[in-house]
Amino acid sequence: MMNNKVQVQLYIPATGKMYDILLPKMLSVAQAAELLASFFAGTSGGAYLPDKDAVLCSMETGQVYHVNSSVEELHLKNGSRLMLI
């Protein structure tokens, strides 16, 4: 069982691609954004070049998630749709 993780859909506008990502519930938004930004910068062949201000936000509402909130505190569920900008 993976009760400590949620599977979210992550859209990266810079690449135009959607990814299924597992995020630990205790990870903060700041940690998640940093890890995802560095990972996708390395795998996108230069299509995604993050800066230090990369943020995660809701794909439905556009709401930018507070950096100190955890994945669990945001009540993200399996299938939640996020954007990394």
The DSSP 8-state label assigned to residue 28 in this structure reads B
Domain range annotation of the chain: 5-84
Spatial distance between the Cα atoms of 62 and 83, rounded to a whole number of angstroms = 8
Structure tokens at 36: 């995802």
Q: Is the pLDDT of residue 43 over 60?
A: yes
CATH 3.40.50.300 for domain 5-84: no
User: Residue 47: pLDDT band by 50, 70, 90 thresholds?
Assistant: low
pTM of the model: 0.84
Q: Is the pLDDT of residue 1 over 60?
A: no
- Residue 13 one-letter amino acid: P
Q: What is the dihedral of CA 76, 82, 84, 85, to 10 degrees?
A: -120
